[in-house]
Structure 1
Amino acid sequence: MNPTLKDSGEKSQNTAEKCDVEVEPTSKRKTKQSRRLDGHTVMSSTGERSKQTMETFRTSIFYAVLDTMLSELNRRFAKPNCEIMLGIQALNPSSNTFCQEEALFAFASIYECNTDDLKHEVYQMKRILERKVKSGIQKPSSIVELTKIIEPFKEVFHELFRLCKIDIAILVSTASCERSFSTLKLIKTHLRSTMDDDRLSSLGILSVESRRAKSLDLNEFVKQFAANHNNRRIRLL
């Protein structure tokens, strides 16, 4: 203990004794059971906080938290989820496991793809990428770039293109969903509590896709609106 704190504690204790102030903490009054519960069997706490010991902490809190964490880890890293993650990595051109058949076929089997066709498509795609690199064209570095290369030939690389689209569409986390809910919370305040769902959905889309919304030409919208409502009294053009 810090000597300064120890001296301060002793001085406070001496001062309290001189002033006839009790130093020892008084015992708390025992909580009585409510009369409404007379004649009933009480199986849980009714507000009285029981004395916490190391053993009760270990069994009621520590083990419960560990059990929840292990259950969540087992759920998230189950075999199907791991196969999906490895399959996504196998479609990434910058990955060391790019086009690895074992991981790619396990991913394809989850979405019921034809593995025989996929095997030929992967072989041809490897050859195309090798030729592009030899001709001086930069190799794609992401799944999106790979999908853009395959898209003109999507009828030929049907299974591979399908897996790439699935790969891009899979959400790696709930961040996008949580961001959408946060946006809706900012839009629908207590002053806008009577807003209907259609208007809220439209404003939410404009807010989430703010970059695309800002790049739109509002004059074109006004012209189209005016053309569809020729009988309006207000002239927009």
Structure 2
Amino acid sequence: MFHLLCENDDDWDNDTRMMAVGYEGWLSKASTCFLLMTYGEVFNATDALFSVLQNKSVDIAFCCQRISDTMAIMCRLREDFDSFYIKFEERCQQLGLSDASAQSDQPIRDRRRLLFYSILENICIQMKTRFAHYGKLSFIGLVDTRKFEHMSKSFDEGLLKSLAKAYLRYFDFVRLKADLTGLYSSQMIRQTCATPAQLLDFLHCNDLVVTVPEASKLLSLDLTLPATTASVERSFSALKRIKTYSRNRTGEERLSSLALISIESAHLMSLKKDHKTFYNDVIKKFVEKDRRMDFIFK
């Protein structure tokens, strides 16, 4: 596509042509192919893990096992660099890709090996940090509706202990065990509720929340836990949005104005409610400025 844009440059504006030339040049490099193939190998493993974490979120033991398996795959990829590099060279030969010779005392294969190792090590470190405490959520298995029949025959006390470590003062554990035992033994619930969300809806629709208050509280906790371990502040920080926006703009005045708008957002909203007075005050300040035309009628 980029090649066609470059060949038919009369049909496109300057910005489009320059971007097409840049992207085509970048995609024509062997180093780009190396990065794409490296991350392709990584995503083959992490995509499967992502699917498990999204669809098996209540089965914490299974999720933890898949996390360990994925990290083991990362380690095996590191050991298989030689076979990976052979595939990379074959792909470059098929596509006719090459890199401009760079002045370096280190062979290109060794530099790419270091880059390959660095990428995999960084991913492993990030995964260890991200999922370091994931096992502490094992108490979510208490409301895994798919295991209610099994739990009705053999109650897992270990899951209650896991909950107690984090939320001891929020639950009456004697009452909670009684509530859960009643839910586990209900054949109607096992047949009609496939997820914790459906179970909580069932309790609300049938006015059973008061009957099993501790179990309802646990279900609410389960549905409140975020699907990702990224913090809310990191994902939705106003300061982060300001910095991202300001990096694409120039001038310190713009950055100061954005920061002021964010900091004084409550005051700005109050001014918008009485916008006529606000506009009049702005106009008054404007006409009082020096080196302006005389807007004041005398």
- Judge same fold: TM > 0.5, yes or no: no
Q: If you compute each CA radius of gyration, which structure gives the higher value, 1 or 2?
A: 1
Normalising by structure 1, we get a TM-score of 0.43
Question: By percentage of residues, which structure has more helix?
Answer: 2
Normalising by structure 2, we get a TM-score of 0.36
Q: RCO higher in 1 or 2 (8 Å CA, sep ≥ 6)?
A: 2
